[in-house]
Structure 1
Amino acid sequence: MDRARPRLSRSDQAQPVLLPEEPAILGVRHAVRSWSADHGGGPVAVALSGGADSLALTAAAVAEVPDVLALVVDHGLQQGSAAVAAAAAAQAVAFGCSDAVVLTVDVGHCGGMEAAARRARYDALGDARAGRPVLVAHTLDDQAETVLLGLGRGSGPRSIAGMQAWDDPWGRPLLGVRRSVTRQACRELGVVPFEDPHNTDAAFTRVRLRHEVLPLLDDVLGGAVAEALGRTAAQIREDAQVLDDLAAELLDLARDGDAVLVTMLTERPAALRRRALRLWLLERGAKGLSDKQLRLVDDLVGAWRGQGGVAVSGAPTGARLVVGRRHGRLNAELEWN
């Protein structure tokens, strides 16, 4: 939960600067302009860390969007983090943001520091966005890293499909922009981005992908690997959307109240059947479904041998969400310990 919310408003600072008409910042502006046109063109919030990507995004958003609220999350994980957050908020207002709010969060330990910080950050941004979309500064390089992580973990096409430009309420206008462009944009703007030491810490898998694996792939494959991975993600997302639409239609046919009829699923292709089951399980409260869990649930349809129920993620503390087959129907019910 976020604590105090120091804030600055445009009236507290000088008038916003005019952005230079240089190639990098113009490229970032074009990406934001295109995203805004595709998603209503209204006011937005921007998640600002003080790093190069989010600084360039914030400056471009001010130039392209009618009203921009900057949200700066202070995780409190490093000495001097409050000063970094305050400087980022001040820069946002100097760019022309109508308001800049610092959100100080408590980072837990569940799932490791990186995952805990991400949860705390997104929870705080979601609470403070005031109904606006929140723009986050994920770049093409981040997309490439995400695709490689998905490939390495064998977590299926949803991971390989990477991040979406719009995943309500999160907007990602810079998925086609290289990290080198946002850094150059900061030089053109005359601002010095904050360099997070975690971004060079080889203890984190993403850091090693960024500094070791992707450069090696570029060397072996002749360059442009990030762009190729971005194209692959886009193609998989397009295919996945078609399958998801077909799965939603199949689920509607198979519904029997809160249960699903096995006979409506049995003869369907496994990939389509599992997508329909995933949609149904999410409706029933499942969260963080693993491929293994989904395949075990699918076995209740496609490999039925009278086996018992399957526990899936998402139950409240002290309970299990269990999927079982009875009388030709699948039911998902909470079982309390």
Structure 2
Amino acid sequence: MTRRPRLSPTVGTARNLIRAALDEARIALGSRILVACSGGTDSLALAATAAYFEHSGQYRVGAVVVDHGLQPDSADVAESARTQLAGLGLDGVEVRRVRVATTGMGPEAAARTARYEALDAAVEQQGAAAVLLGHTLDDQAEQVLLGLARGSGTRSLSGMPARRGVYLRPFLGLRRMETEEICRFMGLMPWHDPTNTDPALTRSRVRTQVLPYLEDALGPGIAESLYRTSRILAQDAAYLDELAASEYERLRKPAVSAEADNTEHDDGAQLLLSEDALRALPPAIRQRVLALAVVELGGVQPSFERLLAAENLLRRTGSAGPVQLGGKVSAYRQVRGSRVPQGDPSYGSLVLRKNL
């Protein structure tokens, strides 16, 4: 009798991580699942592990390879990935070629935008319930370090979410060396992206220089500590965001007729927030409430410095504004005696306005 090869403990751990992610997201058995695969070590290991759920009949697992066309051999890399994925016995493997914008944003952000547009289209066309992404614990540690370098807040330092909509990251608890082990065990030949070691890119320097230096200087376990920090902060950020959303719904008052300076504006172009109510909130909640108003008006997430400037208006010791918050959204105080959109009660409000 032929003995079955022994299952690698790392592969077993990886399967459990995928199963836990699908259970947490309440993905029904029999649903279609897609694996986003670049052909690199992490995503190839993810696809190979997810293939188990296809073979066992628990889910219908396919894969999508996104060819960004940014390197001369990108088509060959995509085809190599497709061939290996097909050899895993997945339920369909698709290559999607995208065009990455060359203006308006940085190259990494542009590639990410194009990639998610392609994946969103695949989800819609194939009726997928989830897309698995191959980010690892090491990626999360790098993300936290980058956030620290930028002086970011709780949400940014919590790193990449384990789940956002249909997108799941089951391998955030797995080290990169473990995905390499999975590929060796499965006999796979991953592609090694040269940009991962390009010193011109900040993330690459964090990966190849900063984290190894911290491991040497402070001892092993730095990546795990950063990952643990991200999990703690993710819980804190989620709780604060929930509180802020509740307060925002309680405080927000649309201004629907005319601006305080008698200039007519479209409905929904501005919002009122009670100054007294804002002052009563803890800073962490107050700043989130202000940011929610900016985003609702079509602006961008304000920087910490811009939020502090808006908070200064509440002290009523200086200018009444306006303070520019980002994305053409400004904030200013109502001035006594001026015309207000909704009558007397709106005096004492902070006005947030989208400049159309």
TM-score (ref. length: structure 1): 0.87
Could you tell me how far 1:204 is from its partner in structure 2? 0.8
CA distance in 2, matches of 1:291, 1:303: 20
Match of 2:297 in 1: 284
Could you tell me how far 1:237 is from its partner in structure 2? 1.3
Q: 1:19 to 1:299 in 2, by over 3 A?
A: farther
Bigger shift: residues 327-336 or 53-62: 327-336
1:19-168 map, 5 Å: 21-41=7-27, 42-64=31-53, 66-109=59-102, 110-130=104-124, 131=127, 132-168=129-165
SS at 1:175 equivalent: helix
CA distance in 2, matches of 1:179, 1:220: 21
CA distance in 2, matches of 1:38, 1:275: 27
1:1-337 map, 5 Å: 21-41=7-27, 42-64=31-53, 66-109=59-102, 110-130=104-124, 131=127, 132-257=129-254, 258-302=271-315, 305-314=318-327, 320-326=328-334, 327-336=347-356
Structure 2 unaligned runs (5+)? Answer: 255-270, 335-346
CA distance in 2, matches of 1:128, 1:323: 41
Amino acid at match of 1:325: R
CA distance in 2, matches of 1:68, 1:125: 15
CA displacement, residues 73-101 of structure 1 (integer Å, 9 cap, x when unaligned):
11111111111112212222222221222
Determine if contact 1:70/1:99 at 8 Å carries over to the other structure.
yes
- Decide which structure has the larger Cα Rg and report it: 2
Determine if contact 2:158/2:229 at 8 Å carries over to the other structure.
yes
Q: 1:241 to 1:102 in 2, by over 3 A?
A: same
Determine if contact 1:20/1:189 at 8 Å carries over to the other structure.
no
Bigger shift: residues 158-167 or 125-134: 125-134
Match of 1:13 in 2: none
- Alpha-carbon RMSD across the aligned residues, in angstroms, is 2.0
Structure 1 unaligned runs (5+)? Answer: 1-17, 315-319
CA displacement, residues 304-324 of structure 1 (integer Å, 9 cap, x when unaligned):
63332233334xxxxx23333
Determine if contact 2:137/2:175 at 8 Å carries over to the other structure.
yes
CA distance in 1, matches of 2:44, 2:7: 16
Determine if contact 2:295/2:301 at 8 Å carries over to the other structure.
no
CA distance in 2, matches of 1:31, 1:303: 53
State percent identity of aligned pairs.
41
RCO higher in 1 or 2 (8 Å CA, sep ≥ 6)?
Answer: 1
